Structure 1
Amino acid sequence: MDSLTAWLTKVRSLLAPSLLHCLICGKTSRPAAGLHGICAVCEEAIPWIRHPRCQKCGRHVGCPDCSRSGEAVPIVCNRSAVAYTSVMREILGQYKYRGNEQLAPLLGSMLDRAYIQLKAERERRQQGIAEFQKAQRVFTSPIFRGKQSASNQRWQADLLVPVPVSEARLVERGFNQAERLADVLSGFRGIPQLPLLVRTHHTSKQSFKHRAERIADMKHAFAGNPDVEVLLQFEVWLETLGKRTRPLQIVIVDDIYTTGSTIRACAGTIRTLCDRYGKAAEIYSLTWARS
């Protein structure tokens, strides 16, 4: 009888749903279905940005910044995974300031949702352009028919570039959070990532500044990475692309998009670098959160 009881207990434990210690709430609970390391309750509460209201910066609510600025924006668009709520702020704080590096795979997998959204949007746009051109009878040559046309409607980033942190910030935190996020996304999607940028000077924390202060602070804050090995890797990567005619699809990766001043400064520097090599580039950005 004792052996039967033990056997039944074992069977029940195997059939019962496994529990985990949630990385967000800290409770032992039923695991989430779509994200590793968190419970189902916390997954349900994640404020995903599924339908960006601003098509340029990816903001989920009304966006006065993009509409009031008359300046040319050096990125095609930004997409963010989640809205920067108080709960998301706490999660980022645990990872970024309190060194909970267990959160890196989770945040990276959340960022992957933003990449999927960006990819789907670009492919829908390319599909629309192809259908319009077909309707206008632009494609009359056989070269544009069949498989060639279908392949043109697929979109994939060519390169991920993390936003760099200053040496002081790197010493303080022990890691670059944007680079870790880019590493996870690179592993998911097979997209290479290169630290093409460096900070030219240390800036104080942007979260304490107004929009105008942030924009002024970010001017000339970034430069091309002078490291010979990084530049060699970039040149080798360019060679692997061959004589491709379409622009490079480069994605800047960061943890949070606030005013966009950091992203714009990085994009301007990347564009200058590409121009130096005679390469046209379309630059996008992905951030974990949008404030």
Structure 2
Amino acid sequence: MNPLNDWINGIRSLLAPAMICCLICSKNGRPSAGLPGICTGCEAGIPWIRQPRCQKCGRHTGCPDCNRSGQSAPILYNRSAVAYTPVMRELLGRYKYRGHERLAPLLGLMLDRAYIQLKAYIDHPQNFTQVQSRQLPEHHFLRKKRANPASLWHADLLVPVPVSDSRLMERGFNQAERLADVLSRVRRIPQLPLLVRTHHTGKQSFKSRAERIADMKYAFAANSDNSVKAQFNSWLSQVKAPGRPLQILIIDDIYTTGSTIRACAEAVQLMCASHRRDAEIYSLTWARS
């Protein structure tokens, strides 16, 4: 045996990345450098939405919804991290329904990609036409962005979509709140549970678009918990530049028709208006169907 070769092989084994059991494929493989718990092969296969076809809702395919006449738009823009493929559906199902809580950091960091994409879109004024600019309210961030290109957008607050009490008892956690937890830590943006569900709406995946929209009407209201009210009032008093609109992000796991996001945005706007504050509402979701 050659001692030199043994020494070189020993050094290589120390420098080589350790193998992990991947959270997606359950096989041993080299770990991803950017996403915890998955192998490089599964990382390469993630269906990231890098160039959404619809700049408003972030859809990666043709979008008829945002062009519907009379469509209300309480959110300005949505961005989603991944396309809701069968592999992504299985991954989310394991987290939401089968208690694989080790997936929480992974899904949260994946959602952060959507935040990066939204921020990049807003921070580059060349993305917005003069026609779009003329349609914006006087105090809209993008109007100020044109006047001062050096100003950078950031979210002031994260608001997770709430689940019903029965769903919370069934799962033991709110997946949107867990996603917001990770994003809050990474981006240092506070999050508050400003909303509650007023009634249980059942699983939306089995319903038509019209049924989802009808279900979500008045499905959310301001959280009446005194502790949450106090936290919100304290947060409002600390927000810098009180004359500008609040920049608020609604957080959820999936965007399908957008009915849930829109209903939440309307409730948040009403809540802010009751405090005499304007709010510009955006949304981030982990997946886009």
User: Given the two structures, how large is their TM-score scaled by the length of structure 1?
Assistant: 0.89
Tell me which residue corresponds to 1:156: 154
Report the CA distance shift for 1:266/1:13 in structure 2 as closer, same or farther (over 3 A). same
Could you report, residue by residue, the CA deviation over 1:243-290 in whole angstroms, capped at 9, with x for unpaired residues? 522210000000000000000000000000000000011000000000
Report the CA distance shift for 1:236/1:129 in structure 2 as closer, same or farther (over 3 A). farther
- CA shift, 1:15, in A, is 2.6
Q: How many residues align?
A: 275
Could you report, residue by residue, the CA deviation over 1:129-179 in whole angstroms, capped at 9, with x for unpaired residues? 99xx9xxxxxxxxxx9xxx9465x201000000000000000000100000
Tell me which residue corresponds to 1:17: 17
Tell me which residue corresponds to 1:176: 174
Tell me which residue corresponds to 1:76: 76
Correspondences of 1:48-127 after superposition (within 5 Å): 48-125=48-125
- CA shift, 1:71, in A, is 2.4
Report the CA distance shift for 1:106/1:69 in structure 2 as closer, same or farther (over 3 A). farther
Does structure 1 residue 289 correspond to structure 2 residue 287?
Answer: yes
Tell me which residue corresponds to 2:221: 223
Does structure 1 residue 166 correspond to structure 2 residue 164?
Answer: yes
Tell me which residue corresponds to 2:141: none
Tell me which residue corresponds to 1:233: 231
Does structure 1 residue 46 correspond to structure 2 residue 46?
Answer: yes
Between the aligned partners of 2:229 and 2:69, the Cα distance in structure 1 is: 34
Give SS of 1:97's match.
helix
Q: Which stretch of structure 1 is more off in the superposition, 248-257 or 49-58?
A: 49-58
Report the CA distance shift for 1:34/1:63 in structure 2 as closer, same or farther (over 3 A). same
1:188 pairs with one of 186, 189, 192: 186
Do the aligned residues in 1 keep the contact of 2:125 with 2:149 (CA within 8 Å)?
Answer: no
Report the CA distance shift for 1:221/1:127 in structure 2 as closer, same or farther (over 3 A). closer
**Partner amino acid, structure 2, of 1:63:** C
Q: Which stretch of structure 1 is more off in the superposition, 54-63 or 11-20?
A: 11-20
Does structure 1 residue 256 correspond to structure 2 residue 254?
Answer: yes
Between the aligned partners of 1:129 and 1:80, the Cα distance in structure 2 is: 23
- CA shift, 1:3, in A, is 8.6
Could you report, residue by residue, the CA deviation over 1:173-232 in whole angstroms, capped at 9, with x for unpaired residues? 010000000000000000000000000111110001010000000011100000001010
Between the aligned partners of 1:232 and 1:54, the Cα distance in structure 2 is: 38
**Partner amino acid, structure 2, of 1:269:** A
**Partner amino acid, structure 2, of 1:77:** Y
Q: Which stretch of structure 1 is more off in the superposition, 67-76 or 278-287?
A: 67-76
Between the aligned partners of 1:204 and 1:185, the Cα distance in structure 2 is: 27
Aligned identity (percent) is 67
User: Given the two structures, how large is their TM-score scaled by the length of structure 2?
Assistant: 0.89
Could you report, residue by residue, the CA deviation over 1:27-53 in whole angstroms, capped at 9, with x for unpaired residues? 110112321211111011111001111
Structure 2 gap segments, 5+ residues each: 134-143
Between the aligned partners of 2:261 and 2:3, the Cα distance in structure 1 is: 64
- CA shift, 1:9, in A, is 5.3
Report the CA distance shift for 1:182/1:13 in structure 2 as closer, same or farther (over 3 A). same
Q: Which stretch of structure 1 is more off in the superposition, 120-129 or 55-64?
A: 120-129
Alpha-carbon RMSD across the aligned residues, in angstroms, is 2.2
Give SS of 1:279's match.
coil
The structure number with the bigger radius of gyration is: 1
Between the aligned partners of 1:7 and 1:231, the Cα distance in structure 2 is: 64
Do the aligned residues in 1 keep the contact of 2:198 with 2:218 (CA within 8 Å)?
Answer: yes
Give SS of 1:77's match.
strand
- CA shift, 1:70, in A, is 1.4
**Partner amino acid, structure 1, of 2:218:** H
Give SS of 1:179's match.
helix
Between the aligned partners of 1:98 and 1:254, the Cα distance in structure 2 is: 18
Tell me which residue corresponds to 2:136: none
Tell me which residue corresponds to 1:212: 210
